[in-house]
Structure 1
Amino acid sequence: MSRSVPLTALDPTTPVIVGVGQASERLADPDYQARSEADLAAHAVQTALSDTGRAAADVAFEIDAVVGVRTFEESSPLSTSPLGRPDNMPRAVAKRVGMDPRRAVLGVTGGQSPQSLLTEFAGEINAGRTGAAVLFGAEIMSTVRHLTATTEADDRPSLAEEVGGQLEDRGYAIAGLTTHQEAQHGMLAPLVQYAVLENALRHRLGRSRSDHARAMGELFAPFSTVAAANPHSAAPTARTAEELVTVGPDNRVVADPFTRLLVARDQVNQAAAVVIMSVGRARELGIDESRWVFVHGHADTRERTLMTRPDLSTAPAAAAAVRGALAVAEIGLDEIDFIDIYSCFPIAVTNVIDPLGISPDDPRGLTLTGGLPFFGGPGNNYSMHAIAEAADRARTSPGSHTLVVANGGILSKTSVGIYSSTPAPWSPGDSAGVQALLDAASTVSTTDYADGPATLETFTVVPDRDGGRKGIVIGRLGDGTRFIANVEHDDTEMFDLLAGEDPIGTTVHVRSSARGNRVFASRTAMLRHHPATVPSFRDGYEHVEIRRDGHLLEVVINRPEARNALHPAANAELDEIFDAYFADPDLWVAILTGAGDKAFSAGNDLAQTAGGTGLEVPKNGFAGLTSRRDLPKPVIAAVNGYALGGGLEIAMACHLVVADERATFGLPEVKVGLAALAGGLVRLPATVGPVLARDMILTGRRLDATEALAAGLISRIAPAGDVMTLARTVADEILAASPTSVRESLRAMAVAESIPDEIDAISSTSSALDGLLVSKDTIEGITAFVTKRPPNWTGR
């Protein structure tokens, strides 16, 4: 039983949709005008204002909030606007239709936005904070791509516009939708991410490739039929299931298992708008009650990040949102008359209908518009068109209920609305309660660096237009840890495995490097591509200098022109050098410093990061040290100038730090939009205490050598220019001691650091005695002491 009440019983603050509008144009249309985004959106808004049945100008005067859905051109920090855009899109659109709203809002990124914004502003209206609002969104990707492809830069129109005025820009809100692991392995594009989910679904359902292809085609063929009858469709052509999945010149595979006709079409020029206001305001304006549409139910949920989901074939937050909205509406799924499910890819639909028991050929249909591959995928705004269609259904079929399911991210955010012309009071819903249950579910741990045998969990292969291909695999190590890996471009054996009927569940082998993880069909194949190597020193290095002096190794970062900042090549060389140092029994102590007198290291080379190679960091971390789990022999940092950002993190990863009196220490990452993630956030509080560490980390505050000594960050200070002399002195003092005792002491301290109880930690150090009892150096040390002669250490 729904929450319906008589119109006369409604609170005047009850929100109600009173107008909807859509606008579109296609390049091939005879009246194509190449409208700007603001112009196309204004057309949809004007249509929505007129759709109220009252004079558009009169309704426009009442609007006190204009809310824009964020476009693809501004959906991430990497987005661009080739033709320019207004500095305040909501007010640019408002100005075109004669509105002067008190409040202008630009929503966050994601296909859930139209529904989530409508839910939010319905609540604002019910609370009395807003009387009437217009929500809109528009995309002109088709026009922009056409003009940039066919027009010289100087001849292209400028769509830039200075509007100014108040704007509540809510930003991207895309944190957590993807990870650095996905970025490093080429799994950032939604097409690729959805493909790996779709293949996981196929495996769970036990379908053959052909059976699953047929199922995807049969799911989407009815969508194309709806799109063919929709005047706003970008591709109004009815397709058979076979047409959708048959590979050909016009329907190539874009990412296994998707063909081009199965994925969202973003080359569109489409806009949609909704006018929502309070019942009281609607009555004052004399808007006919037959045009009123009520929000009976709603819910918003958020899924775990892709890589942490327990099962990659499903995202239960979507179905939970539908159930939550039905509960608010107090109706059952069988009381829904019309349905529109966000359909960017087949799994976005099946992920909703399968757990709810809705058949792919449900007689109600699964789309009102024709779906994203056929009607079109206008950026984040698709579901505004679905809401407009839902309002039309509510008016033409009084008493019916329409379900709209909006999806954002990678099945990441779901926003659901249930619409009807039947009067109903507003309910705040219980999205928080639904989300709390979802958040209680278990997650999967992940790793950046995967090595050894593993189980292939899912995959995709993305073909290039030039005949190449990119293989992406998600797998599990023996302990259940999940990783992403790529296939080497020339590994035909692995590509053949992925092209098989069902490679999921196969045992594979994975190897990590600074470039990311690489997966192979067998250990033999892995060793063939990457033969095992013995750590050793080269004759020379491009970015680093080394010098051996007996048992001492001196390592110099040789990039003074960049203040010894590190880029991937320098990091790789340092990692290799320290591998060789720790493996060489004749080297007992190492000193690390920077070339010149200006800097030990200024950290990460931001110019390289901006160039796209910043994610290439060795498994052992920055300089081959910051993430190295085992440093069995002493490393001394000789800080001869700036030790900033990653430079300070490198120094803190060393066992001892000595500094020139002119040295400077700091973690300025927050000043460039980064964070000290190579150990600084962990090691600095442990070294100088949490209070001073927070001051340095949150403000970028720098310490001079005297302050660093007082804080315990360094152990000794050298006169200007003499830090290497001091470092060598410290090294000589260590070399005068038993190298076996030094190594056992380092090992025992490392073990004890992880034990919180002091007595337990002390007990753990007794294991050092086991190694010393069988050491020649222990016998030599005792003998030399008794006979009053200098010891002759061997390190054994």
Structure 2
Amino acid sequence: MTKTVDYSSIDARTPIVVGVGQAGERIDDADYRALSPIDLAVAAAEAAIADTGADPRSVIAAIDTVACTRQFENSTPMAPAPLGKSTKFPLSVSNRLGAAPRRAVLEVAGGQSPQHLLNEFVDTIHAAAAEVVLLAGAEAISTIRHLTGSDAAPDFGDDPADPDDRYEDRGFGLAGLTTMEQAAHGLVSAPAQYALLENARRAARGESREKYTAAMGALFAPFTEVAATNPLSAAPERHSAEELVTVTERNRMIADPYPRFLVARDQVNQGAAVVLMSVGAARRLGIDERKWVFLHGRADLRERNLLERADFGTAPAAVAAVRHALAVAGLDIDRINFFDFYSCFPIAVSNITEPLGLSPDDPRGLTVTGGLPFFGGAGNNYSMHAIAEAVPRVRAEPGSYALVSANGGVLSKTSVGIYSTTPAELRRDDSAALQREIDALDSPSHVAHPDGWATIETYTVVHGRGGLRTGIVIGRLEDGDGRFLAQVAPEDDALLELLETAEQPIGQRVHVTALGYGNRLTGTAETARELFAKGAPALRENYEFVKVRRDGHLLEVTINRPEARNSLHPPAHEELDSVFDAFFADRDLWVAIITGEGAQAFCAGNDLVYGAGGKQVYIPLNGFAGLTSRKNMTKPVIAAVNGFAMGGGFEIALACHLVVADETAKFALSEVKVGLVAGAGGAIRLPRSVPPKVATELILTGRRIGAQEARELGVVNRVAPPGAAMTAARALADEILTGSPTSVRLSLALMEQTQGIADTVEAVTAPNDVIDELMTSADAIEGMVAFAMKRTPQWKNR
């Protein structure tokens, strides 16, 4: 006998789920319509509205908020949209649906976003800041891939007007999830990142490759059973545990230990939506109480960034989020009837289920959809489908509970919800306090440019098309235990073979070398020397992008790319770096001048055209032009600025000891004009060179200053007539060359050693070895003797 529930005492502000809907199609369906993401989201929203059982027109008219997940084509700054995209997706959905919300929200990227939005907007409804909220999202990745370049390619673009400024784009939300360092080492795909965690988990458990691989198959085999019966599944096929992990042509290796069947399937056309509203609105709209589903427990937690984690084999924040949601609901795990654990990769499930005591063959099952590799990984919107599957199940069994755990990033963000038809007032969670505890945990030191012997902490080998293999390793230096990221040197076949075949590569001793384009790992130091030896610093006879002229003790270096306004790309950087290595190593070279070929530009900064062409962009470890990050610049370098010194060009000048400019010269840190920052030293050096407020203005506006203003500010030492910067720079160099090169070098060293000491007297009296070295030098004796004899000194630079 069904127990009668009294709904009359429930607070009218209590938020409830009253409608869920899904939509989808496969390109081989007989009725395939090539629906856009907007089409799919609208279809799902219409289904969710119909699911309420109320008059659809009344529900649509009552919607005051629409919040949507991001699509793949707007989840990263450089994501392609070959068929076009909506510029304001929530408004596109609203307009197509016929809704007129007061607020439209596009959430940050991440698989946690559907559950996170629901957790957020139940609070918004409870606070009476909204009454009826539509959550929606969709992906048409399969259709976009299928139709791109074809004659039948549709236009999925939409640019809805927003005169009332009701649209809120929360940005990509990728901070801490993707970095330039990771990109430089090929660690950009989700399979590669999760594989690092999976291999660390296997090592921590002490399991063989065979045993661990079999366990991954056993975990996901029941998921395929659920997917096979779900009409919206992208891959409705049953697979045995063995089939899932056996590498075949169809089930190729993606990133060790993942073959394709264990990887989230993003080639889907799927949409899902949820209608939330207050109990008061549900009563007003006449929604049957049997449709009401309450949120009993919830949590939102974030794991630390990837390289900051103490242990790669676990993500405790995800487990803590599930446990906290259960505690908020006042339930233990045995009271949950239905589960959906985000299943982009096996570790996303096992990381949570194992600590909770749930086995892969739990009779309740671990998914209600079929999971991301089989039902489909509908981008950021997968867990909206999980909610849409969970709600009908708890309605069908009044008093039952469903738990949805959504994951974003690399086990980075977890949002959890517990659903039931059992009436309950909204309960507050204490995720913020738990987050503070997670954030306070110790973190290993991170070394961006490691060199020396190390051990492997975790690893993967990424398999590309055509047999290309890329080994990616996170390791620990033997000296200091600092953590680093590196790529296996592609020439080191033995190390790649070890990663793929050794029973346990983790803990193996390896050697890492820091290079401008990234850190490279080899099995031995000998291999590193063979592959990366630079040889003794020396000037070459010929350069492609640089001109070099030696005139006695003076070295003149000319950036020789006038067709590109002397902007720099990696090959030019490498040449300049090697030239300055040679300059600082050569005892007979005492002063250097750097300038640009032609009258148009000294250097226009980075070669943005080169980078836009998809080629790898990097600078040497010594910085822009081999100068801006170089330590121990103990010989004077003069910038002879002719024409434009923009962005990185200005940063080169700021890194030089002295600057001579002709009257036509223009200086600017123009990075803000192209969406960049002056990260090669400009944003640091300029405020130390000119009044801070002036520097701030120049950095934030990108304003150009001329030679005279630059001189007044103290950035430029001398201004020369048009076209005479090099002549003036040579004259300045000649003045320096009349002095002792030893004195010049040690004077620079003394200034460098004491510049960080704020108190003048402390700086003057601080211990240093400069005076001792000077007084025992041959040049000091020669200088005093020459003075006494009233002759010109003969400097030896020793």
With the shorter chain as reference, the TM-score category is: over 0.9
- Pair 409,719 (structure 1): closer, same or farther in 2 beyond 3 Å: same
Q: Would you say the 8 A contact 1:634–1:655 is kept in 2?
A: yes
- Alignment match, 2:348: 348
- Alignment match, 1:103: 103
Identity %: 57
Amino acid at match of 2:592: A
Alignment counterpart, residue 150 of structure 2, candidates 149, 153, 161: 153
- Alignment match, 1:35: 35
- Pair 85,716 (structure 1): closer, same or farther in 2 beyond 3 Å: closer
- Pair 358,552 (structure 1): closer, same or farther in 2 beyond 3 Å: same
- Pair 557,453 (structure 1): closer, same or farther in 2 beyond 3 Å: same
Does 2:645 match 1:643?
A: yes
Q: Would you say the 8 A contact 1:567–1:614 is kept in 2?
A: no
| More moved, 164-173 vs 56-65 | 164-173
| More moved, 684-693 vs 280-289 | 684-693
- Alignment match, 1:187: 187
Secondary structure, counterpart of 2:8 in structure 1: helix
Alignment counterpart, residue 590 of structure 2, candidates 575, 588, 591: 588
Secondary structure, counterpart of 1:203 in structure 2: helix
Secondary structure, counterpart of 2:614 in structure 1: helix
CA distance in 2, matches of 1:25, 1:727: 70
Deviation at 1:555, TM superposition (A): 0.7
Superposed CA offset, 1:582-601 (max 9, x none): 11111011111111222221
CA distance in 2, matches of 1:157, 1:286: 40
CA distance in 2, matches of 1:707, 1:291: 72
Superposed CA offset, 1:414-462 (max 9, x none): 1111111111112342232222112112233434422221222211112
CA distance in 1, matches of 2:274, 2:621: 51
CA distance in 1, matches of 2:646, 2:431: 45
- Alignment match, 1:479: 480
Q: How many equivalent residue pairs?
A: 789
Q: Would you say the 8 A contact 1:178–1:306 is kept in 2?
A: no
Amino acid at match of 2:476: R
- Pair 547,386 (structure 1): closer, same or farther in 2 beyond 3 Å: same
CA distance in 2, matches of 1:89, 1:188: 26
- Alignment match, 1:211: 211
Alignment of 1:296-695 (within 5 A): 296-477=296-477, 478-499=479-500, 500-613=502-615, 615-695=617-697
Amino acid at match of 1:718: A
CA distance in 1, matches of 2:615, 2:712: 37
- Alignment match, 2:129: 129
- Pair 613,305 (structure 1): closer, same or farther in 2 beyond 3 Å: farther
- Pair 728,355 (structure 1): closer, same or farther in 2 beyond 3 Å: farther
CA distance in 2, matches of 1:361, 1:558: 67
Deviation at 1:269, TM superposition (A): 1.6
| More moved, 157-166 vs 47-56 | 157-166
- Alignment match, 1:709: 711
CA distance in 1, matches of 2:354, 2:705: 59
CA distance in 1, matches of 2:344, 2:242: 19
Amino acid at match of 2:264: A
CA distance in 2, matches of 1:97, 1:717: 66
| More moved, 574-583 vs 634-643 | 634-643
Secondary structure, counterpart of 1:449 in structure 2: coil
Amino acid at match of 2:342: Y
CA distance in 2, matches of 1:178, 1:354: 28
Q: Would you say the 8 A contact 1:353–1:359 is kept in 2?
A: yes
Report the RMSD for the aligned CA atoms in angstroms.
1.9
CA distance in 2, matches of 1:268, 1:705: 58
Superposed CA offset, 1:58-100 (max 9, x none): 2222212222211112111221222223444333333444433
Deviation at 1:162, TM superposition (A): 4.8
- Alignment match, 2:21: 21
Deviation at 1:357, TM superposition (A): 4.1
Secondary structure, counterpart of 1:628 in structure 2: coil
CA distance in 1, matches of 2:767, 2:706: 35
Deviation at 1:173, TM superposition (A): 1.7
Superposed CA offset, 1:267-290 (max 9, x none): 112111111100000011111111
- Alignment match, 1:291: 291
Amino acid at match of 1:441: L
Deviation at 1:483, TM superposition (A): 2.3
Deviation at 1:231, TM superposition (A): 1.9
Deviation at 1:756, TM superposition (A): 4.2
Secondary structure, counterpart of 2:434 in structure 1: helix
Secondary structure, counterpart of 1:579 in structure 2: helix
State the TM-score, normalizing by the size of structure 2.
0.95
| More moved, 256-265 vs 484-493 | 484-493
Q: Would you say the 8 A contact 1:748–1:764 is kept in 2?
A: no
- Alignment match, 2:789: 787
Any unmatched runs of 5+ in structure 2? Answer: none
State the TM-score, normalizing by the size of structure 1.
0.96
- Pair 357,694 (structure 1): closer, same or farther in 2 beyond 3 Å: farther
Superposed CA offset, 1:686-741 (max 9, x none): 11132111111111122222222222212222232222222112211211111111
CA distance in 1, matches of 2:429, 2:691: 45
Q: Would you say the 8 A contact 1:310–1:442 is kept in 2?
A: yes
Superposed CA offset, 1:503-562 (max 9, x none): 111111122222212110001111222335111111011111111111110111111222
Q: Would you say the 8 A contact 2:22–2:272 is kept in 1?
A: yes
Alignment of 1:202-241 (within 5 A): 202-241=202-241
Secondary structure, counterpart of 1:154 in structure 2: coil
Secondary structure, counterpart of 2:544 in structure 1: coil
Q: Would you say the 8 A contact 2:642–2:661 is kept in 1?
A: yes
| More moved, 227-236 vs 610-619 | 610-619
